[in-house]
Amino acid sequence: MIFAPVIDALALPAGARVDQRVPKKLLLEQGAPTAADKRQIQDGIEELIWIAALKPTNIGVPAFKDDAREYLEIAVLTAAFRAAAKPTRLAELIHRAIPYPLVLVAAHGGALSLSLAHKRWSQGEIGKVVIEDVRLTSPFQPDMLTAEEASFLAGLALSSLPTRDLFALYQGWLDHVTALEAAQITGAFAPPDSADRASAQRDALAAHARLQREILALRAQAVKEKQLNRRVELNLEIKRLETELVEAAMNL
């Protein structure tokens, strides 16, 4: 089974296992705001399995509640996507549809990806839960892992995560996803060892992605620019942003 390397790496206790199929009807009712999204769910998902429900009673980690959110359990699901699926959008729709914080392992075209997203109460609709930023790993081949991907999987075990409460535990998995994103730039997998370091790593990743977008846009503009002086100005700006890009990578 293609999901086995990741599910095994999570090292979930037997008492938390559910192993039940999730009907597409649930996603259509809860996570499909547009007709196009409904088609994506119908045509793009082959199978969705609820692997485990992690609760205080079966993993010994307390629930979490503050003014923004309440975490009573964490869901672990696998999703098999069809060839024509749009995996990034489908992952977001699945996170939207599941009311609990979710660890989603998705398979598409022989590759796997892992995604997580914090959830909070909606400020506009009482009782409704909304997702925050979805962190999604790049697809990886479970039988052809890079050194960084192997280190990532080795650190996913439930027993190695923070146990203060379910929010801290879930954040531990999120920090590992962020660390893998950083490793694909730096070549070294280094999970953050503190909340401050995790925040700094997320900020550096956001800055790195923004700078890459700006550099690409300026390069495209420079190619089309006919005035020599303006082209020189654009190239100088590109050089400046490339220096900032290197600095952002060093902060990862």
Give the tens place of pLDDT for each residue, 14-49: 999 999 999 988 888 776 678 888 888 888 999 999
What does the pLDDT read at residue 69? 93
As a whole number, mean pLDDT of residues 124-138 equals 83
CA within 13 Å, CB half, 5 = 20
As a whole number, mean pLDDT of residues 73-87 equals 93
The Cα-based distances of 170 to 64, 118, 174 in angstroms read: 11, 8, 6
What does the pLDDT read at residue 31? 63
What share of the chain has pLDDT > 90, as a percent?
50
As a whole number, mean pLDDT of residues 234-243 equals 86
Q: Is the pLDDT of residue 182 over 80?
A: yes
Q: Is the pLDDT of residue 76 over 90?
A: yes
What share of the chain has pLDDT > 70, as a percent?
99
Q: Is the pLDDT of residue 187 over 90?
A: no
Q: Is the pLDDT of residue 105 over 90?
A: yes
As a whole number, mean pLDDT of residues 102-120 equals 94
What does the pLDDT read at residue 207? 86
What does the pLDDT read at residue 129? 84
Q: Which of 54-68, 119-133, 190-204 has the highest mean pLDDT?
A: 54-68
Which of 126, 73, 131 shows the shortest CA–CA distance to 97? 131
Q: Is the pLDDT of residue 73 over 90?
A: yes
Across 49-58, 72-81, 122-131, least confident range:
122-131
Q: Which of 15-19, 198-202, 246-250 has the highest mean pLDDT?
A: 15-19
As a whole number, mean pLDDT of residues 121-143 equals 85
What does the pLDDT read at residue 249? 81
C-alpha angle 63-68-72 in degrees, rounded to nearest 5: 20
Cβ density class 165-190: b for 16+ within 10 Å, e for less: bbbbbbbbbbbbbbbbbbbbbeeebe
C-alpha to C-alpha distance for 136 and 181, rounded to whole angstroms: 9
